[in-house]
Amino acid sequence: MGMRLLQITDTHLFSNGGETLLGLDTGASFQSVVDLACREFPAPDAVLATGDLAQDASLPAYRDLAAGLERIGAPVYWIPGNHDDQSVAAAALSDPFFRPERSFLLGRWQVVLLDSAVPGHVGGRVSERELERLERCLAAHPGHHALVTLHHQPVPVGSRWLDALGLDNAEALFGVLDRHANVRVLLWGHVHQEYRDRRGGLELISSPSTCLQFRPGSRDFSIDEAHPGFRWLELHDDGRFDTGVVRLREFVYIPDKGAVGY
């Protein structure tokens, strides 16, 4: 058995429990997804919380996130999304389960978390400083396989409205990654849907939200009827990995099909 990671992303929690996003109680769906993760994958090696953790960037929302993720019982490494306030999040996500490091070693793998959030903007960018840090991390451990994660999608996922809100300097990111053949996985959130493709030897992967889902292939903003969920990854010492998505089986939500944004 390899090293096991869980990705929890786009939780969009509010300061007031029971508050809804387009009719969906994000707090309730988050807690249900955590319950599912605890049942299906007890004692993982780490959790990646990959942005848009709070919808309103409030301290109570991040505290609720902390209380939920603590139940998984594994170190949590996190990055902000476009809805987050990094300083507020850091104040709440500071107990022993939440790790401030943005890179770590796990068996024969290195995991690097990149901050792609740009205050005041929905789309993302990896700063020059972050790109330099990524280069240093990868160069420091050439004998480790690497998984790199960020919030914003670095490639089009096939939805016109979402593809306009992705990473605006993806070429610079790939310029760093292409220099390191040991990078196996590039993982993100933001798009509220599953996506998987390859770029040479690099696997490109996105994951569902713990709340509402966006309809794949949509031209304009559109909510999907797929259930909330999370992604698991099992990383093997030889560079192979297994991954999958687990969704809530019983979930009642009638999407607001007339919504034009959130």
188 near 225, Cβ under 8 Å? Answer: no
Would you state the structure tokens that stand for residue 245, as one six-digit string?
Answer: 């998505």
Q: How many CB atoms lie within 10 A of CB 129?
A: 9
- The amino acid sitting at 66 is A
Domain boundaries 3-247, CATH class: alpha beta
Would you state the structure tokens that stand for residue 168, as one six-digit string?
Answer: 């605006």
Helices (H), the chain: 26-40, 59-70, 86-92, 128-140, 160-163, 170-177
38 class by beta-carbon count within 10 Å (0-12 exposed, 13-18 middle, 19+ buried): middle
Strands of the sheet containing 145-150, edge to edge, are 103-106, 109-113, 145-150, 183-188, 202-206, 195-199
CA 161, CA 27: separation in Å to the nearest integer?
Answer: 26
- Residue 100 gets the label, from left (phi > 0), alpha (psi -120 to 50) or beta, of alpha
152 near 167, Cβ under 8 Å? Answer: yes
Helix (H) or strand (E) holding 5: strand 3-8
First to last CA, the chain: 40
Would you give per-residue pLDDT tens digits along the chain (262 residues)?
799 999 999 999 999 888 999 989 999 999 999 999 999 999 999 999 999 999 999 999 999 999 999 999 999 999 999 999 999 999 999 888 999 999 999 999 999 999 999 999 999 999 999 999 999 999 999 999 999 999 999 999 999 999 999 999 999 999 999 999 999 999 999 999 999 999 999 999 999 999 999 999 999 999 998 999 999 999 999 999 999 999 999 887 776 666 777 7
Domain boundaries, given as residue ranges, for the chain: 3-247
